[in-house]
Structure 1
Amino acid sequence: MQLFYSPNIQNNTIRIEDEEFHHLKVLRKAVGSELAVTDGKGNLFSARITEIAKHHCLAEIENTTHVEPPTHQLHVVVAPTKNIDRIEWLVEKLTEIGVAKISFIQCTHSERKVLKTERLNKIALSAMKQSLQFYLPQLNELQTFDDFIKATPQNTNLFMGYCETENTQHLLSQPFTYQNSVILIGPEGDFSPAEVQAAQKAGFEAISLGANRLRTETAAMVAATLINAKFEVNP
């Protein structure tokens, strides 16, 4: 199935424009062609093209299927690496495995101080379509570690990957009390002692991801995969 994306849906009509319209033209779609379209909010529309203009097309919805979101919602919070290619890879893969939200934090040891999310959103959109998913993850702008900690959610499993404590328990040994989870992954210089203390005060549990020392994007992907698997086995 070739999946298209459009947030522009009104009165049973879908408007497809910009890059999605370009893809449609490359595939030589014409008036009368059937399309599968998602709004990134769990809806799959079966539609038929009714009009093709110079910069957009219109399609009439013939059927709508709503896909319920996973009962477990995972929020990955990561300090972006200096090499942007590694963060782009991470956003793509986290989207493919169905992470609900991705946030970026600036820590004491962070190498990257600026992050533009426009391209990251495009990567997430492409990954959502290629993996035939119907929920587009929420990508949040870069914020300071302190600002993120101040807004720590309640009734959520809170974990923080931390390398410096030998006695830290493995992620999979932790109790998962709630349906939603947040995992904090720091920069390659790790969290500072003050950041660890602040996170623990906010309710985060320092966890290990195993004996190997992992790069930032690898740690985030491993943690997300383990947490998702935990809820798939024991929903």
Structure 2
Amino acid sequence: MDLIYILHDDASKEKLSIKGELHKYLVKVRRHTLGDEISFRNRDNIEILYTYKVAEVESRSIELELISSKEEITKSKKSLHIAWCVIDVKSIEKVLPSLNEIGVSKISFIYCDRSQRNIKLDFKRFERILEASMQQCGRTSYMEFDTYKSIKEFIKDYDDVKVFDFCDNVLTSDADFERVLIGCEGGFSKDEKELLAQKENFRLDIPMVLRSESAVMAVASKILL
């Protein structure tokens, strides 16, 4: 997929000299030539879009000149905070770009009773995955991450959470809420179900049992799209 914009630490400067892998991408993959315009953003102020013109193309570098800068924000119209019981990191990383593209604003990872406690979450790596996604989809806001030791700890902070679980209540097409709790493989434990008994819960109107990452994608899509 082509990049909507490119994140670069020097974006905002009057001139940019691009070398290395990015040079190869711009010249050999996107085949930019003299006079072409390229969009950049800077991590320190990602809402500003910088437009550069190709001034010179060399064998090992491409020289750019700034021609304009303006605030241009691209974000979801809705906000969704997912409380996600921890599953295998590879499964999380596989769906992170898609969750980013549809506009999920925050994920709280919870070590619930059935989560593997030895799973370590590398938020720096998650951010690198999201930055690649952001450059492709155009999003200009970073997804937030945090962790909780238990569901009990999480609902102390967020008492308004809705719960995705096996139940009679089907999620309707016009459902609209800002916070949802989704369990890991095997669902919630007996103690957790008792803890969540007074919360509003729902299921999707399908007969199949979803993996945790599939449930996260399906619920997020239903709410945000």
Distance (Å, rounded) in 2 between the aligned partners of 1:142 and 1:8: 32
Alignment correspondent of 1:13: 13
Contact 2:74 2:138 in 1 (8 A): no
Distance (Å, rounded) in 2 between the aligned partners of 1:149 and 1:16: 48
Matches within 5 A, 1:32-71: 34-39=37-42, 41-47=46-52, 60=66, 62-67=68-73, 69-71=75-77
Distance (Å, rounded) in 1 between the aligned partners of 2:65 and 2:213: 39
Distance (Å, rounded) in 1 between the aligned partners of 2:191 and 2:14: 50
Q: Scaled by the length of structure 2, what TM-score is found?
A: 0.74
CA offset digits 1:102-150 (Å, max 9, x no partner): 2211100112542222222111111111123222322x14322333222
| Cα offset, 1:8, TM superposition | 6.5
The structure 1 residue matched to 2:116, chosen from 111, 120, 126, is: 111
The structure 2 residue matched to 1:207, chosen from 202, 210, 217, is: 202
Alignment correspondent of 2:101: 96
Contact 1:48 1:60 in 2 (8 A): yes
Residues 1:135 and 2:141 aligned together: yes
Alignment correspondent of 2:129: 123
Distance (Å, rounded) in 2 between the aligned partners of 1:22 and 1:150: 49
Once the two structures are aligned, what percentage of the paired residues are identical?
A: 25
Distance (Å, rounded) in 1 between the aligned partners of 2:189 and 2:141: 34
Q: Scaled by the length of structure 1, what TM-score is found?
A: 0.71
Distance (Å, rounded) in 1 between the aligned partners of 2:142 and 2:134: 6
CA offset digits 1:12-68 (Å, max 9, x no partner): 438989xx9754222348998743123465443223589xxxxxx997462213226
Contact 1:75 1:103 in 2 (8 A): yes
Alignment correspondent of 1:221: 217
Residues 126-135 or 67-76, more deviating: 67-76
Unaligned stretches of 5+ in structure 1? Answer: 51-56, 230-235
Structure 1: which amino acid aligns with 2:171?
L
Unaligned stretches of 5+ in structure 2? Answer: 56-62
Structure 1: which amino acid aligns with 2:149?
T
Contact 1:110 1:189 in 2 (8 A): no
Distance (Å, rounded) in 1 between the aligned partners of 2:14 and 2:184: 42
Distance (Å, rounded) in 1 between the aligned partners of 2:41 and 2:170: 38
Distance (Å, rounded) in 1 between the aligned partners of 2:125 and 2:33: 29
Alignment correspondent of 2:186: 189
